[in-house]
Every structure is written in C-alpha cells, then in structure tokens.
Amino acid sequence: MVNKAVVLETIKKMYDSGIEDSVVKQTLLDVGLNEREIEAYMAEAKGQPIEEKPAAAAPAPTARPSPPIKQMASSRVEEELAAQEAMHATTQAAIADHGERLEELGRKVGRVEQKLGKIHSLTEAPSNKELVDMLAAANQRLGSLEKQVSDLKALNKALKTVMEKILETDRKILGKM
C-alpha cells in the first residue's frame, strides 16, 4: 500500500526540481499506481481541484518533423535520468517516513520498558545478597542494642548499690537518735 503523504511529497519535490509531468507520471506508473490515481495525485500536488474526466478518444497525432536521432537519444537519456532521480526522491521520502515511524516505535517501547521496570521492582522479592545485607544490618543493630541494655543493667545495679548504702546509712542515723 502506498502512503498518500509520501507520494504527494515526492511529486511536489519532483515539480520543484523541474521534472515534467510525463516523467512524474511514468515514475508513478513504475511505483504501481493506476492512471486515475496518478491524475488525482498530480492534481492535488499542483493544488488543482480533482475533476472527473470522461474517457475521451486520444487526440489525433499531428504531423511533426521527426527530430534527429541524437536529439531523440539525448531526450530519452534526460527522461531516464529524471525518472531515476524521481524514483530516488520517492525512495528517500519513503525511507525518511519509515525512519520516523521506527523512532516513534522505539520511544513507545522505551516507555513500556520503563513502566514494566517499575512494576517489576515493586513485585520483585529481594535477592539473596539483599537479604544477607538486611540480616547483617539487623544483627549489627541488635548487637548495639544488647550493649546498650547491658550498660543500662550495670548502671542500674550500681545505682541500686548506692541507694542501698544510702538507706543503710539513714537507718543507722535514725537508730542513733
């Protein structure tokens, strides 16, 4: 299937390059378009309204003097070169369009990968290394808490001893009175 935008852009480029209608038409025939499509595309590229033409008989050939062989060969070579240039322009336009589509597809795939990565990280269980690291951190914290508890016990024991001595001293003083 031929992309209408690419065909119109190519026809406009061909006209901008000075290529004749006959060469443009032949190029479009080579691409695989039919006569009616070609006329419609060419009219649209020129900015002319598309008009339905009834099938008319071919005009009678006019008698012209035949050009010299060199001139005919030169004319055909020029037409062939123009046709090749037109096909090249068509190919380049199609490649550019395809490249743009690939870039857009790449951006969309990147966004999907990001979304999947976020979902995966939320549902993923921690790895063994992460678990080992978490356990090591918990053990370190537990060791710190054990040290603090034993320090508090020692302080509490020392405070109890001091309080007992104060109480005993107070009893002795009261007993002497």
Nearest to 81 by CA among 17, 34, 29: 17
For residue 11, what is the DSSP state? H
The pTM (predicted TM-score) of the whole model is: 0.32
Domain end among 108, 123, 138 = 123
Residue 67 lies in a domain: no
In this predicted structure, the answer to whether residue 154 has a pLDDT above a threshold of 50 is: yes
Measure the CA–CA gap between 72 and 69, rounded to whole angstroms: 5
CB 106 within 8 A of CB 114: no
Per-residue confidence (pLDDT) for residue 69, from 0 to 100 = 66
Structure tokens at 104: 């857009």
For 29-83, the pLDDT digits (tens) are 887 888 888 888 888 888 876 655 544 444 544 545 555 666 666 677 777 777 7
- Domain residues for the domain of 152 are 126-177
Does residue 163 share a domain with residue 110? no
CB atoms < 10 A from the CB of 52, how many?
Answer: 7
Structure tokens at 166: 């104060």
Confidence category of residue 7, pLDDT binned at 50, 70, 90: confident
Measure the CA–CA gap between 30 and 2, rounded to whole angstroms: 12
Per-residue confidence (pLDDT) for residue 63, from 0 to 100 = 47
Structure tokens at 123: 């549902």
For 105-147, the pLDDT digits (tens) are 888 888 888 877 776 665 566 678 888 888 898 889 888 899 9
Per-residue confidence (pLDDT) for residue 68, from 0 to 100 = 63
Which residues 6+ apart lie within 8 Å of 128 measured at CB?
none
Residue 134 lies in a domain: yes
Does residue 157 share a domain with residue 85? no
